[in-house]
Amino acid sequence: MTDTTPTPPTTPSLPTVPPPDVIRCAYAELIVTDLAAARAFYVDVLGLVVTHEDDHALYLRAFEEYLHHSLIVRVGAVPALSVLAYRVRSEAELDVAEAYYRQLGVRVERRPAGATRGIGAAVRVEDPLGFPIEFFYTAEHTERFTQRYDMHPAGALARLDHFNVNTPDVPAARRYYEGLGFRVSEDIVDGDGTVYAAWLFRKPTVHDIALTGGDGPRLHHIAFAAQERHQILHVCDHLGALRQSDVIERGPGRHGVSNAFYLYLRDPDGHRIEIYTHDYYTGDPDNPVIHWDVHDNQRRDWWGNPVVPSWYTEASDVLDLDGRVQKVVPRTDSNEMDVTVGADGFSYAREGDTSTGFKLGTQI
């Protein structure tokens, strides 16, 4: 008998070989169209330390960082993300990464030491979500300026904290990242099972990567941690004094998710940068996952301030490994902005106001 039953579509299975041991998010490279304008923002306003600069690029780090850079800003034809890099535990993990992604069936490239200034041998992939991702261990060390208070500006940034990306299918992206050894700290869901966003970590903080439901692959933002809330407030004052308050997109405020104090800025090319401080430790194996109802009006801003529409809709294009802009796939699940903002959306602050019976800030 001939079996005519069609094979149901399956999500690609995870590799049988182990994933590379990722330590943390380590650096990003952004393409900008005007390097002088980018320098005025990243160096003169944000106060990042210049490790190296030439006519094509700035290699920047924050005050606690001793690796060569945590951000490269490179001039190019169109504003885009060109790579998100994770640091792995040793050089041997590069072979592990290569084998893992070869089994996943995505594009994989080995890069010799020095292909990126300051970075040793590396593996670059186009991940299943469509992002250009690098894994490296070896990197050039520079002086760590933790106690060079004579050099710290009033808004000194301490270190890179996380990446946040738009991806259409958050549950699928979460499965992929969990396969890579990341753990979820928090998510935003609704009573019908739609997942709007998820936060995952390797280092023991709330996240190294946030997955935000939306048309993707696109970069939503990269975030730097400051030590203190007043440093974030100073950046706002600094921008006001420069008559550049329009660079401030959202905040300052206190996030619900993560509990961090935050500010979102837009660089001259529209790339979104977050400054972030005071999230919490997540390193124990039984760290509780916090689920937020999408209708909880304090989930994204603990004080209930509205999220501006641009924060939901705008994001940076990403490049493939050949430097071409990746095609964006639309999200088909409902969008958070549509269910929470404006005439059709609803949200609440008090527990009794929820129509879903959702328990606020449920922990499992």
Q: Where do contacts with Fe ion occur on this chain (CB under 5 A)?
A: 164, 223, 274
Of 301, 340, 304, 342, which Cα lies nearest the Cα of 190? 340
Residue 256 contact, options Fe ion, ligand 4SX, none, Cβ 5-8 Å cut-off depending on partner type:
ligand 4SX
Question: C-beta of 257: minimal distance to ligand 4SX in Å?
Answer: 4
Q: How many residues bind ligand 4SX (CB under 6 A)?
A: 12
- Do the beta carbons of residue 363 and residue 282 sit within 8 Å? no
Supply the minimum distance, in Å, between the C-beta of residue 362 and ligand 4SX.
15
Angstrom distance (rounded) from CA 179 to CA 32:
33
Does the protein bind ligand 4SX through residue 223 (CB under 6 A)? yes
Closest to 15 measured CA to CA, from 110, 101, 123, 124: 101
260 binds, among ligand 4SX, Fe ion, none (CB under 5 to 8 A by kind): ligand 4SX
Query: Binding of ligand 4SX at residue 316 (CB under 6 A)?
Result: no
Part of the chain binding ligand 4SX (CB under 6 A), chosen from 94-102, 117-125, 250-258, 350-358: 250-258
Nearer to Fe ion, 137 or 163 (CB): 163
Nearer to ligand 4SX, 164 or 316 (CB): 164
- Cα–chain-centroid distance for residue 262? 14
- Report whether 234 contacts 47 (CB < 8 A): no
- Number of C-alpha atoms within 13 angstroms, CB side, residue 184? 21
Q: 217 preceded by cis ω (within 30°)?
A: yes
Does residue 256 belong to the site contacting ligand 4SX (CB under 6 A)? yes
286-316 burial: b if 16+ Cβ within 10 Å, else e: ebeebbbbbbbbbbbbbeeeebeeebbebbb
- The interface partner of residue 122, options being ligand 4SX, Fe ion, none and the CB cut-off 5 to 8 Å by kind, is none
Q: Which is nearer to Fe ion, 48 or 223 (CB)?
A: 223
Helix (H, G, I), strand (E, B) or coil at 24: strand
Residue 257 contacts which entry, Fe ion, ligand 4SX, none (Cβ below 5-8 A, type-dependent): ligand 4SX
Least distance between ligand 4SX and beta carbon 215 (Å)? 18
Alpha helices in the chain (DSSP H): 35-39, 93-104, 170-179, 229-241, 309-313, 336-340
Three-state DSSP class for 112? coil
CB of 25 to ligand 4SX, least distance (A): 12
**From 195, 235, 257, 315, residue interacting with ligand 4SX (rule: CB under 6 A):** 257
First-residue to last-residue Cα distance in the chain: 49
- When asked if residue 274 is in the footprint of ligand 4SX (CB under 6 A), the reply is yes
Q: Which is nearer to ligand 4SX, 120 or 252 (CB)?
A: 252
Q: Which positions lie near ligand 4SX, rule CB under 6 A?
A: 164, 210, 223, 255-258, 260, 274, 276, 299-300
